[in-house]
Chains A and B, each alone.
Chain A
Amino acid sequence: DTEVTQTPKHLVMGMTNKKSLKCEQHMGHRAMYWYKQKAKKPPELMFVYSYEKLSINESVPSRFSPECPNSSLLNLHLHALQPEDSALYLCASQEQNTGELFFGEGSRLTVL
């Protein structure tokens, strides 16, 4: 299994809602990342997890809250988002020895 699976594929939420994005990989990768991609723009790094610990937070607002409950799973909890947070959220994992990146298909978020 060489896939990174992200769910849901699409999410529409209001500014007062609480929702979560999920990312799963079973390749034994111990580094996982969240990226945000606005339309027509490159993916921008949000969070870095290494061995289930948050190592880098790229100055992301606290309304985004990541969680890594185990080595296969990475969540992104969303609360009180703004319309400008609407974007494609990409999860990636990285193979330790080769450094190869594996990206999921993304979760497309719309905040109304």
Chain B
Amino acid sequence: GQQLNQSPQSMFIQEGEDVSMNCTSSSIFNTWLWYKQDPGEGPVLLIALYKAGELTSNGRLTAQFGITRKDSFLNISASIPSDVGIYFCAGQLVDRDDKIIFGKGTRLHILP
């Protein structure tokens, strides 16, 4: 079935470093979503992308919808301790309007 490949699986970085993670798929999506899960909470929406090539920022976060519609990346600049958590990408399939596929998550750790 359709699946997303999200990488990396986990990251250990120093505070202040930039972070980059991405999702790729063999399927074409018409929407890409990025969710963040804080420790002890549920995944909540960070950024939604609706057009191929779209680049959207939300504070220190920037996400892009790949031109091929098969990938997306999320960058976090100048990481801070509250960026710790699990980041999930999700794609909505072209041929099934409401079907959303989630990646397996990228676990971000920030070293003191």
Contact = CB atoms under 8 A, between A and B. Distances in A.
B40 A55 contact: yes
Please tell me the size bucket of the interface on B. Answer: 20 to 34
A73 B48 CA distance: 30
Contacts, number: 50
Interface string A23-65: 0000000010100010110111101101000011010000000
Interface residues of A, number: 23
Interface of A: 31, 33, 37, 39-40, 42-45, 47-48, 50, 55-56, 58, 88, 90, 98-101, 103, 106
Given A55-B40, A88-B98, A99 B45 contact: no
Interface of B: 31, 33, 37, 40-45, 48, 86, 88, 90, 92, 97-98, 100, 102, 104-105, 107
Given A33-B42, A45-B44, A103 B33 contact: no
A23 to B, nearest CB: 14
Nearest to A41: B48
Contacts of B40: 50, 55
Given A42-B33, A43-B100, A88-B98, A101 B43 contact: yes
Contact of A42 (B31, B86, B104, B105): B31
